[in-house]
Amino acid sequence: MSTTNMSLSAGVTTRPVLAHGAPRRAGGSGAFMRLFGLLQLWHRRVIERRTLCTMDDRALLDIGLTRADAMQLADKPFWRA
């Protein structure tokens, strides 16, 4: 994947453009960003499921769960919704 040189015309710089004409994205590749998002989601699930285990029965009832529901959710692997 080659890029064309950035050109200067009247002091204005342009973004690098890929050989096929699409502008290069700032912030990394789409695949990396999807992977990063997936890792964040998995981490959030781990934290939320641990938190459910520490909640008392009244707090669980406030969010519409029983102790059995909380334990069932906590036992699920982090990659399962």
For the chain, the C-alpha Rg in angstroms (whole number) is: 24
**E strand map for 1-81:** 8-9, 12-13
What residue ranges do the domains of the chain occupy? Answer: 8-75
Per residue of the chain (81 residues), give pLDDT as tens. 444 444 444 555 555 555 666 565 565 689 999 999 999 999 999 999 999 999 999 999 999 999 999 999 999 999 998
What is residue 19's predicted lDDT score, i.e. its pLDDT?
60
